[in-house]
Amino acid sequence: MSEIIDGRKRNCAEEKPSLWKALMNKRMLICIFNGFTAGLPLYFLAQLIPAWLRSENVDLKTIGFFGLVLLPFSFKYLWAPFLDRYVPPFLGRRRGWMMVSQIGLLLFMVTLAVLNPQEDIQIILYVGLAIGFFSATQDIVLDAYRRELLPDNELGLGSSFYANAYRVAGFIPGGLGLILSDYMPWSMVFIVVSLFMFVGIIHTFVISEVATEVPPPKSLQEAVVEPFKEFFLRDGFKTGLLILLFIFFYKFGDTVATALITPFYLDVGFSKTIIGTVAKVVGLWSMLLGGFVGGLLMYRMGINKALWVFGVVQVMSIFGFALLSEVGPNVWVLGGVVAFEYLGVGLGSAALMAFIAKSTNKKFTGTQLALLSSLFAIPKSFSGILAGVLVEGIKEKDGLFFTLLGNVSGIGYTHFFFVCAVLAIPGMILLIWVAPWNADENTGDQNSATIEEGA
Q: Residue 446, exposed/middle/buried by CB under 10 A (0-12, 13-18, 19+)? A: middle
Give the closest residue to 153 by CA, choosing from 30, 38, 1. Answer: 1
* Predicted pLDDT of residue 454: 35
* Predicted pLDDT of residue 258: 84
Give the CATH fold of the 17-434 domain.
Growth Hormone; Chain: A; (1.20.1250)
Q: Residue 145, exposed/middle/buried by CB under 10 A (0-12, 13-18, 19+)? A: buried
* Predicted pLDDT of residue 14: 42
Helix boundaries (H) for 44-92: 49-55, 60-65, 71-74, 80-85
* Predicted pLDDT of residue 4: 32
* Predicted pLDDT of residue 187: 87
pTM above 0.75, yes or no: no
Question: Do 240 and 372 meet the contact criterion of CB atoms below 8 Å apart?
Answer: no
Q: How far is the C-alpha of 136 from the C-alpha of 149, rounded, in Å?
A: 20
* Predicted pLDDT of residue 21: 60
- DSSP letters for 125-183: HHHHHHHHHHHHHHHHHHHHHHHHHS-GGGHHHHHHHHHHHHHHGGGIIIIIHHHHHTT
Mean pLDDT of residues grouped by 10 in the chain (455 residues)? 35 48 73 91 87 77 75 83 86 89 94 84 87 92 86 76 82 84 87 93 89 72 79 83 89 86 87 77 73 73 84 89 92 87 74 80 77 75 78 69 64 91 92 82 41 34
- DSSP letters for 338-369: HHHHHHHHHHHHHHHHHHHHHTS-GGGHHHHH
* Predicted pLDDT of residue 398: 59
* Predicted pLDDT of residue 8: 35
Q: Which helix (H) or strand (E) holds 2?
A: strand 2-5
pLDDT digit string, tens, across residues 250-271: 988 888 888 888 888 888 988 8
